[in-house]
Amino acid sequence: MKRIGVLISGRGSNLQALIDAQRSGRLGGEIVVVISNVETAFGLTRARLTSIPGVFRDHRGKKREDYDSELIAILNEHAVDLICLAGYMRLLSSRFIQAFAGRILNIHPALLPAFPGLDAQRQAVEHGVKVSGATVHLVDENLDAGPIILQEAVPVLDTDDAEALAHRILDIEHQIYPRAVELWLSGRCRIEGRRVIVEKDQA
């Protein structure tokens, strides 16, 4: 079974979606550690309620590279094969990204490459797009820019504010993140340039 580490900073609803998928055998891996840079993150409680080690590591007062080295050490202690960012609100250093090259996934609440960065749902509403959505992608050295594994669209309604759109997108996030993890861990994906190509089942 592939071993998964999840990094969070907050409520952890995507973490919960991954936990639920694992419980019902849909994740293709096992979450072995959850790390948060915020002590009060509800995601840590979710982890501990499921008997997954939930580790708090404070980033304050530390250089990014030093902090990330601590994370690398914890993830290596748990021998993780894959790292899922799930609302982890810090930029990762090159050291971290190189340590786990091709093994870090992120979920973003927009159809990348539209609206990278913070507050993607507000950006979408303010820009006036009619469709937005969620993206699961590999993490590389550029922000919200690595090869895309899965995307799904949702309509943006005239009555939406950022919060209403965020709610609709979150439902989709919870569906596609576990599917993308399973797909990536299954070994059926290969990367061609920027494209993630899924091999057809050989039935």
Residue 59 appears among annotated catalytic residues: no
What are the structure tokens assigned to 27, written together? Answer: 């994740």
Among 3, 11, 57, 95, binds ligand GRF (CB under 6 A): 11
Does position 29 interact with ligand GRF (CB under 6 A)? The reply is: no
Stretch binding ligand GRF (CB under 6 A), from 10-18, 47-55, 139-147, 152-160 = 10-18
Report, in angstroms and rounded to the nearest whole number, the Rg of the chain calculated over CA atoms.
17
Site for ligand GRF in 74-103 (CB under 6 A): 86-87
Among 2, 103, 108, 179, binds ligand GRF (CB under 6 A): 108
Among 5, 6, 7, 14, binds ligand GRF (CB under 6 A): 14
Of 108, 127, 137, 174, the catalytic one is 108
Does position 109 interact with ligand GRF (CB under 6 A)? The reply is: yes
Site for ligand GRF in 110-129 (CB under 6 A): none
Spell out the residues 6+ positions from residue 172 whose beta carbon is closer than 8 angstroms to its own.
133, 134, 152, 154
Binding mask 177-196 for ligand GRF (x = CB under 6 A): --------------------
Nearer to ligand GRF, 69 or 147 (CB): 147
Which residue has the closest beta carbon to ligand GRF? 87
Minimum distance, C-beta of residue 169 to ligand GRF, in the bound complex (Å) = 7
Does position 133 interact with ligand GRF (CB under 6 A)? The reply is: no
Could you tell me if 102 and 138 are in contact, meaning their C-beta atoms sit under 8 angstroms apart? yes
Active site residues: 108
